[in-house]
Amino acid sequence: MMFDRTGDLPPIGTWLKIPAPDTAEIAAAAGFDFVVVDLEHTMLSLETAYTLIAIASAHGIVPLVRVPDHRPSTIQRVLDAGAGGVLVPHVDTPEQAVAVARATRFPPLGTRGSGATSRAGRWGRLARADYLAFGNTRALCLPQLESAAAMRDADRILAVDGVDGVLIGAADLSMEMGLTATDPQVTGLIDDVLATASKTGKPCGFALGADPGRARELAARGFGFLVLGNDTSMLASAATTLVTDTRAPSGTT
């Protein structure tokens, strides 16, 4: 991975959903190892993503982008914007994994077009060999496994050249299966994928809420990276707590 472990913990990051540059700077100041700019479940534009990528990079943390779909044009644009990699939602088959992996790599490893005058190429100042090497060896391709079919085919998805790891989408997985996230059928699939990833030497990530105890538990189980909370929910939680505690009768908080 492009980011390193912090002590006993794997790399930890958070989702950025608010279209404001401050969020990336706050996340960096808080000590996150990476951020994920979320283009799937927000109204963020590519221009805003570009700004968030630049700020995160300037503050020394890795900017990843969750793209909204599998389109190579979208993947190419966020990588040329300087993203350290992409999370790709709903990768359900090895064939889809091959397609998104190839979209992140330059020929002959993939189909990504050259855009060395972009931010990723330092606007034409980075040596072409370094620009191509970064795209082919360091930019992360992280499919999200969010269906039972994807989970059962995790070994073949992880075996795809150019796939650097996977992120388990437990919420969509449990919803698709019509079960709770804690149902043994759901947790059993998650355990199987975690074991498979461990055998391949590729990290398996997990997204959760702002729950430090749960994060430490997942780290101890061997998850390779964790996405904790998001800027909108953290703001909402802090605002609600502030108002509730302020209005509470004296001596009850």
Nearest to residue 194, comparing CAs of 185, 184, 186, 203?
203
In eight-state DSSP terms, residue 34 is: E
Structural domains counted in the chain: 1
34 close to 61: Cβ distance less than 8 angstroms: yes
Let me know if residue 178 belongs to a domain: yes
pLDDT in single tens digits along all 253 residues of the chain: 456 666 789 999 999 999 999 999 999 999 999 999 999 999 999 999 999 999 999 999 999 999 999 999 999 999 999 999 999 999 999 999 999 999 999 999 999 999 999 999 999 999 999 999 999 999 999 999 999 999 999 999 999 999 999 999 999 999 999 999 999 999 999 999 999 999 999 999 999 999 999 999 999 999 999 999 999 999 999 999 999 999 998 767 5
Instruction: Kindly give the residue spans of alpha helices, DSSP state H, lying in the chain.
Output: 22-30, 46-58, 72-80, 94-104, 128-137, 148-152, 154-158, 170-177, 184-200, 212-221, 231-247
**Is 2 a domain residue?**
no
Look up the pTM and report it. 0.95
On whether residue 131 sits in a domain, the answer given is yes
| Three-class secondary structure of residue 209 per DSSP | coil
User: Is 228 part of a structural domain of the chain?
Assistant: yes
Q: Does any domain span residue 81?
A: yes
In a domain, 120, yes or no: yes
Q: Known catalytic residue: 41? A: yes
Catalytic one among 41, 59, 70, 90?
Answer: 41
Kindly state whether residue 98 falls inside one of the protein's structural domains: yes
Where residue 21 sits, what CATH number does that domain have?
Answer: 3.20.20.60
Domain carrying residue 37: 12-247
Domain membership flag for residue 242: yes
